[in-house]
Amino acid sequence: MMLRTRAVVTSLLVAVPATALIATAIDRRRAADLETALVRVVASQINDQVRERCESDPSWFFTGPQIGRPAHGQFIPQTPDELEPRPRPDPQPFELFAYDQAFGGTSSAAPRFPNELRTAMRQSSRPAVLPWDSEYGTGVQVAMPTGWTGSVCRYFLGRVEPAPNQARQRVLIALGVFVTVFLTAWATTLPIVWRIRRLAKDARESVAGGFSAIAPDQKQDELSSLTFVLNDSAQMLHERRARIEDLDEALRRFVQTTSEDVARPLAALSDQLGALASTPTPAPEDVREALRRAHALGSEVGNLTAATRLKMLPADPPRTPVDLAAVVRRVVARHAPLADAAGVSLSASGLESPITTGGDEDLFDRAVANLVDNAVRYNRADGRVHVRLDADEGGRHFRLSVTDDGPGVSDEQFRGLTAVRRFRGDESRHRRPNAPGLGIAVAREVCDRYGLRLDLKRPAAGGFEAEISGAVLS
């Protein structure tokens, strides 16, 4: 059901019972006002002038428009319970009749005194009101003692005929109340319907705009708070959409880079190994070159895998205990053949006791491996690479440094290495000559994701140093 239709139905459901209640209350209020007015009019007739007129000619006493004096025979009742016809047969809007001590009418026009009012007059001296049915509808009658002891006009009975077109007036009042209540209820729900429709429109535009923020509603109610809920949901969906796009882009780059930067080097390595296998005594330099190519290819695949994993990590990645000493031992052992082939001395210290931090062991392995790989690959023959792991005196922070005594880097290269802060995942494919590649970018991204710090330094004695520092897991 549409909101507008629902608003109409709700307004009808409110208007129908409200009309019944209000119309009934109005009808009762009008009846009460009529009773009060009749009591006041009858009470106003209790005065000396009216008493004199009533007692001087009681057989002809009743108020209201009269035409001629009735004949004497019309005043004589045929039976005690039946009076002669009224002098004028059509009832008047207001009539007042007098009764004696025994509730006998002094005029043939007087109706029989109602039994309920007789009882009320005997029990109390207060006026008594009672409805009465006439051919024109329901009227009001009031009985009131005059206080004239011994008078033939001991009691007054006043009557008011029902208002003309009473049924029509009730219908018109009910119709007016219904229309008023319905329009009021409709006018009350209409702004809410408009706000909901505008909110739905804003939500659709937000989706079309990539889950952009919705302008907050200026009202201070539950519907206004829904704006903030939608904005929070839009922000969450926007982040999820961006994450999905990042994952899709990372997968696309992984596939593209694997096809271009791994497939061709792998084919070349396969050809080289095939040539070495067909040579009875291959030259040591050819074997070392094949080893370097195989290691570089493995490092490239590892970095591509790590870059894809980093793109898939949430903003607050899960952390598990990582033994840095075990990671360094594994990395050094894996790079020892490469160092021997390059004529570089690779050593490590501070690995006797475990130093544990929180993170991802495979990503930490890749970060440390990239630093060691760069130190070995870009070193000189007979150079030295040293990996040192230690903790401060309190054992709350660790420091892992990879130092080499190679030729180092130029000022421009160093500025490029230290300026890289935004991780894309394709640094190995889109870089200028001598610009930092994917290895440094992966190492820096791993440190940033897990709250570690990566510092690149140029020692005064020469060479290059990369240092990772952070908190030790308690």
At 288-338, the pLDDT tens digits run 777 777 778 788 888 888 888 888 888 889 999 999 999 999 999 999 988
Determine contact, residues 286/274, Cβ cutoff 8 Å.
Answer: no
Containing H/E element for 320? Answer: strand 320-323
pLDDT of residue 94: 80
Question: How many residues would you count in the chain?
Answer: 474
Quick check: 341 and 286 in contact, CB under 8 A? no
Residue 471 bridge partners (DSSP): 397
What are the strands of the beta sheet with 384-391, ordered from one edge?
345-349, 384-391, 397-404, 464-471, 453-457
Q: At what angle do helices 284-312 and 438-449 cross, to 10 degrees?
A: 40
The share of the chain scoring above pLDDT 90, in percent, equals 30
The helices-and-strands tally (H runs, E runs) of the chain is 11, 11
CA distance 141 to 132: 7
Helix (H, G, I), strand (E, B) or coil at 283: coil
Neighbours of 87 (CB within 10 A): 18
Which tens digit of pLDDT belongs to each residue from 187-196? Answer: 777 777 777 7
Phi and psi torsions of 349, nearest 5°: -145, 165
Cα distance between residue 31 and residue 37, in whole Å: 10
- Residue 53 near residue 66 (C-beta atoms within 8 A): no
Cross-strand pairs, 400? 389, 468
Please state the rounded mean pLDDT for residues 389-402.
Answer: 91
The C-alpha atoms of residue 58 and residue 153 are separated, in whole angstroms, by 8
More confident residue, 241 or 429: 241
Question: Given the structure tokens 């006998």, which residue do they identify?
Answer: 104
User: Residue 427 and residue 417: Cα distance in Å, rounded?
Assistant: 12
Residue 271 pLDDT = 56
pLDDT at 261: 61
The CA angle 77-82-88, to the nearest 5 degrees, is 75
Give the residue, 402 or 237, on which the prediction is more confident: 402
Q: Is the dihedral of CA 440, 441, 446, 452 positive or negative?
A: positive
State residue 358's pLDDT score.
94
Record the tokens describing residue 337, joined without a space.
Answer: 């053949």
Contact 360, 430 (CB under 8 A): no
pLDDT of residue 460: 87
Position 216, amino acid: P
pLDDT score of 432 more than 50: no
Does the predicted model carry a pTM greater than 0.75?
Answer: no
Calpha distance 372→339 (Å, rounded):
10
* pLDDT above 70 (res 467): yes
What's the token pair of residue 139? 């009227």
Answer yes or no: are the C-beta atoms of 329 and 363 closer than 8 Å.
Answer: no
Closest CA to 209 of 229, 238, 232: 238
